[in-house]
A and B are shown apart, each in its own frame.
Chain A
Amino acid sequence: MVNKKLCSPEEFEKLRKDILSKKDPNRSIVSICTMSACGQARGSLNIYQRFQEEIKHAGLEGKVEIKGTGCQGFCEREPVVIIFPEGIYYLDVSTEDVPEIVSKTLVKKEVLERLVYKDSVSGEKVAKGAEIPFYKSQSPHVFGNNKYINPRDIGDYIALGGYASLHKALFQMTPERVIEQVKKANLRGRGGGGFPTGLKWETTRNAPGTPKYVLINCDEGDPGAYMDRSLMEGNPHSVLEGFIIGAYAMGAHQGFIYIRQEYPLACENVEIALKQAEEYGFLGEDILGSGFDFKVKVHRGAGAFVSGESSALMSAVEGKVGEPRMKYTHNAVEGVMGKPSCLNNVETWANIPLIINKGANWFNSIGTERSKGTKIFSLVGKVNNTGLVEVPMGTTLRQIIYDIGGGIRGGKKFKGVQTGGPSGGILPEQYLDTPVDFDELTKLGSMMGSGGMVVMDEDTCMVDMARYFINFCCDESCGKCIPGREGLRVLREILTDICEGKGKEGDIEAIEDVAELMKDASLCAMGRTAANPALTTLRYFREEYEAHIKEKRCPAKVCKSLINYYIDPERCQACMICMRNCPVGAINGGKDLVHWIDQEKCTKCGTCFEVCPPRFSAVKKISGEPVPPPQRTKVIRKKGG
């Protein structure tokens, strides 16, 4: 095996020049998101393979490079195929489109109009990625390189200036100076806590005791958030580079990467990245000849939400059960094995190379007064353009949901946006113009959290959502402290009762009492914030709770116990589709006979509602009113029949 290890800054410089000299800026590159679990779900691997075949067939081998990249952000329209150097974006591509892309775009340099972005209002077609509304308002400093990088090739990262910040830190800066820069940049923890990163680093560095440890938190447990997965899958070296710089600054020689095993591809890519970084001498002993040593171990999380909490995560790294412990002293002073330890989130680490490279002043020029830089959000739920978006801190919810996200799906009405995962809250329409940063959303009872942003429309029941989150936390609570364990259990019982039509007077007040107690007395942040979804929905959607309790009605028609399915005899065309699809045989009627649902048999699975052709729309959901009696013998006279 050739020894690739770089032993001096000069050798690193030479390697970079070598890599760049081999890259022809005019060469065509086809970039496909194959290194992401969701890209694969939409068949990106098949498209990649088809491109290989077609390019070979067209005799373009060696002239065109096919690059399997990580997440490119516009997940809703996957599989996306980007053609460089032109920067043409083809959306919703299928394997059948590949021969035409090769023969027209790669050979003749023509744009295929039918595959480019089309504005839903003006009908205007946009081929260049930078001009697509979804991308136009973004500032992709951390996430933007994904589309150029094969995450399994360290050369791609180096070609884009990768590891230059590490080089700068090691040879031009003292550890103190690195910490000073991070402090000056006012970087705050991207995992949701928002604690000043520089301060954490300084405490760890100055804490007595050796060895010191540094850790990456990739236990992205927040349901609805996936930016950490996408960074780890798509650009693992950017995270590693920040990690090594941090270790140098804090004087740590051992690092741990905690990554959830539910992300198999991220685990795989990070292992490959570690191996390559070591081969090239960015990790291991005497990094780039600087005399600094640093080793990294990967710890796969075995599936426990609470293990993402810092003290719990550190216990897990020691091979113990991942339960939080009382923090009489900070982890920065007493963490892993009782030694000074610094844990930062994936996105926080990925910001470090940018700060070192471009400087604290540049970083301070982006964002709001107290929250600097950009933030990646996972914009999901009932919005038109779901995906990962990176915007400056302080961008409003409206800009994110409407300008980038393209508004609500299917012309429905916006109802609320859930931010901050199970510790956050749901905000209604009147707060859409709130700038998103660490402090503003907290004032409204929610939080920015790690960047999950789940958009909800009028078909979402807020009581059911509160029950969902409480149920989630109840299952995930470690059970160590009584307020966390019993408080959640009581909340779950009350909310389940309300959703099942068994709510009673005083339930709302009981929720508020329990929530307050949990806030004051729980052991860890999860327990202290777990009631937030219930509290914000009570604050902003109280009338829905009241409708459930007093009128036994679910306004969004979601809670199964409070709704009935009913076939409107005036609209039913006796097409038998719902009859055939009903899994329990609850639909009666026949050919030319109006259908009706036997309410005793119906399990409210909603299949009939879904399969009834939209032009008939005969199946209705009703709530809080009696089901009209069936018209058993009504005959349908079909048009032309």
Chain B
Amino acid sequence: MSHVRKAVRRAVGSYYGSKDGLIQILLDLQSELGWLSGKVLREVSRQLGVPATRVYQIATYYKAFSLHPKGKHIITVCMGTACQVRGAPTLLDRISTMLNLKPGETSRDMRFSLETVNCLGCCAMGPMVVIDGVYHSNPSISQLEEIFESVK
């Protein structure tokens, strides 16, 4: 059995094959595989017995899903109101220049993906950046350089 089929079977199984679990199943697959390929979406549709159009509708509606492979390191800049007021746009510009990536892009060597998020709920300490799941409160240029260097 292929890798994709196995992963989908596991995810579908943990919600007992219930159609209500579609969003949860896709979330689990997104976090396990890093992105949702056409193959994955078709397999979910087949195993869960849900039309492929509906699986595709969900996968394109929500922000958590990516239909493209992502980089090894994911940098997420929070653009919530509190971060916005405290300089998130400048921080995003700066990271964008440093990595030579626009928000939403992945570097060609698949090393970095730059993303934005509406709010991480760390509003008291903005602007916030999450790098590979680790939260950083208002990092300076040299701190960022150090972090990017360390994950290379």
Contact = CB atoms under 8 A, between A and B. Distances in A.
Interface in B56-96: 57-58, 61-65, 79-86, 90, 93-94
B13 interface: no
Interface stretch (A176-184, A192-200, A311-319, A507-515): A311-319
A380 B135 contact: no
Interface in B99-143: 117-126, 128, 133, 135-137, 141
Given A75-B124, A223-B119, A321 B84 contact: no
A548 interface: no
Given A75-B124, A220-B121, A378-B124, A302 B84 contact: no
Nearest to A307: B62
B109 to A, nearest CB: 21
A41 B23 contact: no
Most buried by A among B23, B24, B58, B123: B123
Contacts of A34: none
Contacts of A201: none
**Secondary structure class of chain B's binding surface, majority of residues:** helix
Nearest to B83: A223
A223 B22 CA distance: 27
Interface stretch (A113-121, A381-389, A432-440, A539-547): A381-389
Interface residues of B, number: 45
Contacts, number: 150
A381 B85 contact: yes
B121 to A, nearest CB: 4
Most chain A beta-carbon neighbours within 10 Å: one of B21, B65, B93:
B93
A261 B27 CA distance: 9
A299 B23 contact: yes
Contacts of A605: 90, 93-94, 97
A305 B61 CA distance: 11
Nearest to A224: B81
A454 B135 contact: no
B8 interface: no
Contacts of A299: 23-24
B26 interface: yes
B19 A468 contact: no
A317 B23 CA distance: 9
B125 A321 contact: no
Contact of A224 (B19, B80, B137): B80
Nearest to A418: B81
Interface size class of A (residues with CB under 8 A): 35 or more
Contacts of B120: 37, 262
B86 A381 contact: yes
B149 interface: no
A454 B123 CA distance: 9
Contact of B61 (A304, A379, A418, A469): A304
Interface in A312-359: 316-322
Contacts of B57: 321
A278 interface: no
A330 B25 CA distance: 29
Interface centre among B19, B82, B118, B125 (most CB of A within 10 A): B82
Contacts of B135: 37-38, 40-41
A221 B119 contact: yes
Contact of B141 (A305, A469, A581): A581
Contacts of B94: 583, 605, 607
B146 interface: no
Contacts of B93: 605
Task: Label chain A's interface by main secondary structure.
Answer: mixed
A556 to B, nearest CB: 11
Contacts of B85: 380-382, 454-456, 460, 465
Contacts of A465: 84-85
Nearest to A606: B90
A318 B65 CA distance: 18
A68 interface: no
B144 to A, nearest CB: 12
A304 B65 CA distance: 11
A318 B18 CA distance: 10
B58 to A, nearest CB: 6
A380 B119 contact: no
A3 B130 CA distance: 41
B64 A302 contact: yes
Nearest to A479: B61
B27 A302 contact: yes
Interface in A128-154: none
Given A262-B117, A302-B62, A606-B90, A421 B124 contact: no
Given A221-B118, A223-B79, A468 B90 contact: no
Nearest to B94: A605
A305 B64 CA distance: 12
Contacts of A606: 90
Contacts of B90: 605-606
Interface string A369-396: 0000000001111100011100000000
Nearest to A456: B85
A293 interface: no
A124 to B, nearest CB: 24
A321 B26 CA distance: 13
Nearest to B57: A321
B61 A382 contact: no
A261 B64 contact: yes
A468 B81 contact: yes
* Max count, chain B CB within 10 A of own CB: residue among A263, A302, A320, A605: A302
Nearest to A611: B141
A476 interface: yes
A232 to B, nearest CB: 10
Contacts of B84: 223, 465, 468
A607 B96 CA distance: 14
A317 B21 CA distance: 8
A607 B90 CA distance: 9
Contacts of A381: 81-82, 85-86
A78 B81 contact: no
Given A386-B124, A605-B90, A322 B24 contact: no
Given A38-B135, A229-B121, A581-B141, A421 B22 contact: no
Nearest to A422: B81
Contacts of B22: 319
Interface in B1-55: 18-24, 26-27, 54
A226 B122 contact: yes
Ranked nearest first, the 7 interchain pairs of A and B with the lowest CB-CB distance are A303-B63, A75-B124, A223-B80, A302-B62, A41-B135, A224-B81, A226-B121
Given A37-B135, A38-B135, A226-B122, 4 more contacts: A38-B121, A226-B119, A379-B124, A380-B85
Interface of A: 37-38, 40-42, 75-76, 78, 220-226, 229-230, 261-264, 299-300, 302-305, 316-322, 378-382, 386-388, 418, 421, 452, 454-456, 460, 465, 468-469, 472, 476, 478, 581, 583, 605-607
Interface of B: 18-24, 26-27, 54, 57-58, 61-65, 79-86, 90, 93-94, 97, 117-126, 128, 133, 135-137, 141
7 contacts: A224-B119, A224-B123, A226-B119, A262-B117, A321-B61, A379-B124, A381-B86
